[in-house]
Amino acid sequence: MARKHLVLTILLLVISLSFNSGCGSGSANVTPTPDPSIVWADDFEDGDYEGWEEDDPGWYVKEGVLTSGPDSANPIIHESNVAAGTWSFDLNFDNASYYSICLSCDQDFRNGFGINTVTMDNTLVALNTITDGTFRSPAAEADLGKKLTGWNHFDITRDASGNSKIYLDGELVLEYKDDVTISPQLFFLDVEDLGLAFDNLVVRDQVIAIQP
């Protein structure tokens, strides 16, 4: 009986050890729960920009990054039905003077809101609106007091009342309230130079808390 008990104890110990180690490796591989507020996103890691449209060629994907050029710079558009929520993305400023982004525009670009950046001595970040075809650029503007270089992360939030906030690397740089009513259809990106780069776009239909 004692021998049988010992065998049973060893067997239970072996089962227990393998169960624990199995749980350990399993918990390291848990797939994160998808964020239900994300409406669409693109990180270009698959090497293409399928889903984006351009009238004239002006973009290509290089090492998982949407890049302007190689021969010309032109606007690029993606369908997007979000007018209130959070837009997050990275812009590269090594070759940058000008990015213009309509975060939410209607089909004919008669109503919308977006941002642009201009790099001169300093980098300016502006919030723009289009109301019944009338363009306000800038509707509000912030001089960052420094020239941006390399990759910088932007988050822009806009609530249903038209209150918007622009965050650069998690820090609030501009706030504005517009009264534009948008029937959201399009996300629009334009640049004036070659070699400008855009990545890690996430579009949410909820205003999220932005962390530094």
Residues near Ca ion, by CB under 5 A: 43-46, 48, 50, 64, 199
- Closest to Ca ion by CB, 155 vs 199, is 199
Q: SS3 letters for 17-36?
A: HHHHHHHHHHHHCCCCCCCC
Q: SS3 letters for 149-209?
A: CCEEEEEEEECCCCEEEEEECCEEEEEEECCCCCCCCEEEEEECCCCCEEEEEEEECCCCC
**Biggest distance spanned by C-alpha atoms of the chain:** 92
- Closest to Ca ion by CB, 44 vs 113, is 44
- Closest to Ca ion by CB, 22 vs 64, is 64
Q: Which of 163, 152, 125, 160 is closest to 141 using CA atoms?
A: 125
**CB of 149: closest distance to Ca ion in angstroms?**
19
Cβ–Cβ < 8 Å for 168, 154: yes
- Closest to Ca ion by CB, 42 vs 106, is 42
- Closest to Ca ion by CB, 61 vs 140, is 61
**CB of 139: closest distance to Ca ion in angstroms?**
30
Q: Which helix (H) or strand (E) holds 15?
A: helix 2-28
**CB of 194: closest distance to Ca ion in angstroms?**
19
**CB of 128: closest distance to Ca ion in angstroms?**
26
Position of minimal CB gap to Ca ion: 64
- Could you give the count of Cα atoms lying within 13 Å of 78 in the half-sphere of its Cβ? 18
**CB of 109: closest distance to Ca ion in angstroms?**
25
